């Protein structure tokens, strides 16, 4: 057997470069390169290996958490068919990636994490940044990755890499089990050489199958749908990952079953499709939520039924409602005691469409859907043209960004009040035009995620919408976008604090406590003094961005035109009124209210909360 003598790190990089995926006959290199920040735990191993292999491109990040977000966004934009590796030193560099790992795993996005680790040979312990444990020597901060990784291993000998890499690729390319994969690499082992089998580095193709559900299950689903009167489709992220948008559009048109979308599934249908009801759930439209409340059958496609989708199990109130789920994940396909069609969304939906020939919902149901769509479009126009302020409303900002964008452009967001408003208001015109991270709703994802989207789709304009709270947490990848020439248009909304949680706090009677950016008041002892004089525009300029400040809606409109024409990352800073909010519509979210409190308002909210609990359902 032919062998090649390489260090463990050299073998790792050479292997990653040879991995490809294939779906529907289209073949792609799985890894687009490696993000990294070097320290003593990986500079002599992974760093040296990357330096020797420039074909496997290295990208310099500014924050370890951010580089994982960028990789996850890149994977999402590529429908999980491509990703990045991310490397850090042992210590804070490694633990900074834990949040990114959690985000990737919760959102089912493939990312390979390669943190350095303590010495495998142990004789020099405790080394710099080592967390000692009295119960084991085989322990480091990298054990923190175990609960947030879909696969985890520590490579204590160079030859162990051979077997671990195969398992890592199995998980990373699995439509059902993908997420963060963590290979902990002791710093001494990274530099040790081994005679690796040459065939390990041959081109390897991982084929992504389109599995169809069992024929008998499809027949039973057909019977359930034909016997229903008010069916509703819930389109989740699985529709987009399986590239099933066209199949869904045909199925909805053929059967007359309206479609409501989760955050991950928004864009599954164009907003103007006659059977699209838009967003569902806590951040949903009134039409989608009213239809869901009365639906007697739910066809969930590629959704995991988060509480924002189900309104904390209050969204579906028909006492006889039944569920059919199409999903590649056995874990998700049986949720809500559903009839589970285990398989690829596109392939299974096409098979179900063939079985449903001749079926169509009633004319009255079609008229109801049309009426709800027309009413919602009028409401969107009202919010987009509120003529408030200055400062203007957040809804007006979204309207201005929408009008400035082209159908193929991408809006990116993750946390705060923006995701809820975007879910309701954004008119998706392209399956990949709406990019929200809401499985983990991670503050700080926005700019790093926008970079990943732009790297995946450089021909599209990417509009990153971010509030001041998220921006102050993680804006460092503006510098990376400048360094690599990936232009972003960042709309930075200055509402002087944590607007989303401020609103939630007031809704439960807590008056927005701890959510405003204010000085401490010596008279009250609380943070209710004057507002902090933050200059967010200056920080963006300091990171190398072109910056435009807009004071009103006409100024914002002009700024967005200028930003589109700019040649480098541009930050548009606009102040908004945090008290002018986009309403919620016909839904509820379970946020427990204190059972005892000095405040009469909180006590009143508790009574309302206990009454609302009666609407929560069990689906057994």
Reported pTM: 0.97
Token duo for residue 493: 């909304």
Please report the pLDDT score of residue 495 as a whole number. 92
The arithmetic mean of pLDDT across residues 433-440, rounded, is: 97
Q: Say which residue the tokens 């409303």 belong to.
A: 393
Q: Say which residue the tokens 């204010």 belong to.
A: 518
C-alpha 194, offset from chain centre = 39
Token duo for residue 321: 């409602």
Structural contact between residues 423 and 380, judged by C-beta atoms closer than 8 angstroms: no
Residue 372, CB half-sphere, CA atoms under 13 Å: how many? 27
* pLDDT for 405 beyond 90: yes
* pLDDT for 508 beyond 90: no
The arithmetic mean of pLDDT across residues 224-247, rounded, is: 98
| CA–CA gap between residue 114 and residue 36 (Å, rounded) | 9
pLDDT tens digit sequence for 357-381 = 999 999 999 999 999 999 999 999 9
Structural contact between residues 149 and 180, judged by C-beta atoms closer than 8 angstroms: yes
| CA–CA gap between residue 345 and residue 212 (Å, rounded) | 8
Q: Say which residue the tokens 């510098």 belong to.
A: 479
Return the SS3 of 348: helix
- Report the run of H or E that residue 574 belongs to, with start and end: strand 570-575
Provide the angle, in degrees to the nearest 10, between the axes of the packed helices 363-384 and 286-294.
150
pLDDT tens digit sequence for 596-612 = 999 999 899 999 999 99
| CA–CA gap between residue 560 and residue 540 (Å, rounded) | 16
| CA–CA gap between residue 17 and residue 6 (Å, rounded) | 15
| CA–CA gap between residue 258 and residue 547 (Å, rounded) | 43
pLDDT category at 450 given cuts 50, 70, 90 is very high
pLDDT category at 502 given cuts 50, 70, 90 is confident
| CA–CA gap between residue 196 and residue 184 (Å, rounded) | 19
pLDDT category at 430 given cuts 50, 70, 90 is very high
Return the SS3 of 359: coil
Residue 563 sits at φ, ψ, to 5 deg, of -65, -40
pLDDT tens digit sequence for 112-152 = 999 999 999 999 999 999 899 899 998 899 999 999 999 99
**Domains in the chain, CATH or no CATH each:** 3-207 (3.40.50.970), 215-375 (3.40.50.1220), 385-496+532-575 (3.40.50.970)
pLDDT tens digit sequence for 238-259 = 999 999 999 999 999 999 999 9
| CA–CA gap between residue 369 and residue 276 (Å, rounded) | 8
Dihedral (C-alpha) 416, 565, 393, 471: value to the nearest 10 degrees?
30
Residue 544 DSSP label: T
Please report the pLDDT score of residue 512 as a whole number. 83
Token duo for residue 272: 């103007």
The arithmetic mean of pLDDT across residues 543-551, rounded, is: 97
pLDDT tens digit sequence for 7-34 = 999 999 999 999 999 999 999 999 999 9
């Amino acid at each position: 057997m032919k062998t090649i003598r390489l260090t463990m790190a050299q073998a790792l990089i050479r292997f990653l470069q040879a991995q490809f995926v294939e779906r529907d006959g289209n073949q792609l290199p799985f890894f687009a390169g490696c993000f990294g920040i070097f320290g003593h735990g990986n500079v002599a191993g992974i760093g040296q290996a990357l330096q020797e292999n420039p074909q496997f491109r290295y990208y310099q990040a500014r924050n370890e958490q951010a580089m994982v977000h960028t990789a996850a966004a890149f994977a999402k934009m590529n429908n999980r068919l491509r990703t990045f590796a991310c490397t850090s030193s042992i210590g804070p560099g490694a633990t900074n990636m834990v949040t990114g790992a959690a985000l990737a795993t919760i959102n089912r996005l493939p990312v390979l994490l390669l943190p350095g680790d303590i010495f495998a040979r142990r004789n020099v312990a405790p080394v710099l940044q080592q967390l000692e444990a009295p119960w084991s020597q085989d322990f480091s901060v990298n054990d923190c990755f175990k609960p947030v990784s879909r696969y985890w291993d520590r490579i204590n000998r160079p030859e162990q890499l051979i077997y671990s890499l195969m398992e890592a690729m199995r998980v990373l390319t699995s439509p059902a089990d993908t997420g963060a994969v963590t290979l902990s690499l002791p710093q001494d082992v990274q530099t040790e050489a081994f005679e690796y089998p040459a065939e390990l580095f041959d081109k390897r193709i991982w084929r992504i199958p389109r599995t169809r559900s069992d024929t008998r299950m499809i027949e039973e689903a057909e019977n359930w749908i034909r016997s229903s009167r008010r069916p509703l489709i819930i389109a989740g992220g699985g529709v987009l990952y399986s590239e099933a948008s066209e199949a869904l559009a045909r199925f909805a048109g053929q059967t007359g079953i309206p479609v409501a979308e989760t955050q991950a599934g928004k864009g599954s249908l164009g907003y103007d499709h006659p059977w699209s009801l838009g967003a569902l759930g806590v951040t949903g439209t009134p039409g989608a939520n009213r239809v869901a409340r009365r639906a007697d059958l739910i066809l969930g496609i590629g959704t995991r039924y988060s509480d924002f989708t189900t309104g904390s199990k209050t969204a579906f109130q028909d006492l006889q409602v039944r569920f059919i789920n199409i999903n590649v994940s056995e874990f998700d396909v049986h949720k809500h005691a559903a009839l589970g069609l285990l398989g690829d969304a596109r392939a299974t939906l096409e098979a179900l469409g063939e079985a449903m020939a001749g079926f169509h919902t009633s004319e009255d149901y079609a008229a109801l859907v049309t009426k709800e769509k027309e009413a919602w479009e009028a409401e969107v126009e009202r919010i987009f043209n509120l003529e408030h302020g200055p400062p203007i409303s957040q809804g007006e900002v979204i309207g201005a960004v929408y009008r400035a964008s082209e159908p193929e452009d991408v809006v990116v967001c993750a946390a705060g009040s923006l995701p809820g408003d975007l879910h309701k208001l954004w008119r998706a015109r392209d399956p990949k035009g709406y990019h929200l991270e809401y499985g983990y709703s991670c503050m700080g994802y926005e700019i790093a995620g926008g970079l990943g989207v732009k790297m995946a789709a450089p021909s599209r304009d990417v509009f990153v919408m971010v509030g001041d709270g998220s921006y102050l947490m993680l804006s460092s990848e503006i510098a990376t976008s400048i360094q690599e020439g990936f232009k972003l248009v960042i709309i930075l909304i200055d509402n002087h604090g944590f607007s989303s949680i401020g609103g939630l706090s007031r809704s439960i009677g807590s008056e927005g406590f701890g959510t405003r950016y204010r000085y401490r008041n010596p008279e009250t002892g609380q943070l209710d003094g004057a507002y902090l004089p933050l200059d967010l525009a200056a920080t963006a300029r300091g990171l190398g961005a072109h910056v435009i400040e807009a004071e009103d809606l006409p100024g914002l409109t002009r700024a967005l035109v200028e930003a589109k024409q700019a040649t480098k990352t541009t930050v548009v800073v606009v102040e908004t009124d945090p008290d002018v909010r986009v309403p919620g519509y016909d839904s509820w979210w379970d946020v427990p209210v204190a059972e005892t409190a000095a405040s009469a308002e909180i006590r009143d909210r508790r009574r309302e909360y206990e009454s609302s609990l009666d609407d929560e359902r069990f689906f057994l």
